[in-house]
Amino acid sequence: MPKLVIIYGTGSHNTEMMARAIQEGARTEGIEVVLENVNDANKNDIWDADAIAVGSPNYNHAMMPTVRKFLSELADIDLSGKTGLAFGSYGWSFEATEGINEILASRGVEMMADLCVKRMPGEDDLEECRKAGVLLARNSKRMEVLYV
Ligand SMILES: Cc1cc2nc3c(=O)[nH]c(=O)nc-3n(C[C@H](O)[C@H](O)[C@H](O)COP(=O)(O)O)c2cc1C
C-alpha cells in the first residue's frame, strides 16, 4: 500500500492544523498515512515512504530549528523518486517552506507547489490542505507503481 509520511513543527498549532487536514485528505484515497510532530518523528518511517510532506511555520525568517535538524538527519536515506510537499503557516514571509522545498528537491524529491497559509487556517484554507493531501496520495500511488 502506498505510504505518505507527514512531519510538522509548530509553535501555536496553525501548521499542525494544516498537517491534520492534509492527513484527512490523503486518507480519503485509502493509502497509509503517518502523521508525526517533528519532536516525536522517527526517520525510519521515511525510508519506505512514497510521499513525504514536511511542514514548518516561519519564525525569524527561517524554518524551525527542529525541522531543519530532522531534514539533516535524512542525509543517509535515498529520497530520490519520492513525491513531496513543503507546507506551513506564516505571517509575512516564506523562508520556511522555501527552505524545505530546496532541501528536499536537492535530494531528488519531486516537489509539488508549496502550500502556505497566513496565520490560523480558515475553512477554505483547510479545504486547500485536504486537496493537497488527495494530490499527494494520488502521486504516491503513481510513485509506488513506478518504483516497485
Ligand atoms: C517570534 C515570532 C517570529 C515570527 N517570525 C516570522 C517571520 O520571520 N516570518 C513570517 O512570515 N512569520 C513570522 N511569524 C509569524 C508565524 O509564522 C505565524 O504566527 C504562524 O502562524 C505560526 O505558525 P504555528 O502556529 O504553526 O507555529 C513569527 C511569529 C513569532 C511569534
| Domain limits, the chain | 3-147
d(CA 108, CA 88): 21
d(CA 119, CA 13): 10
The three cell numbers locating residue 84: 513531496
* Cβ < 6 A, ligand 1 pocket: 10-15, 57-61, 89-93, 119
CA 31 to ligand 1 center in whole angstroms: 32
Q: Is 97 left (phi over 0), alpha (psi -120 to 50) or beta?
A: alpha
Among 56, 59, 125, which residue has the most ligand 1 atoms within 8 Å of its CB, making it the best to mutate? 59
Per-residue model confidence as pLDDT tens digits over 25-62: 999 999 999 999 999 999 999 999 999 999 999 999 99
pTM over the 0.85 mark: yes
Asked if residues 19 and 53 have their Cβ atoms less than 8 Å apart, the reply is yes
Strand residues in the chain grouped as ranges (E): 3-8, 32-37, 51-55, 83-90, 110-111, 115-118
The structural architecture, per CATH, of the domain 3-147 is 3-Layer(aba) Sandwich (3.40)
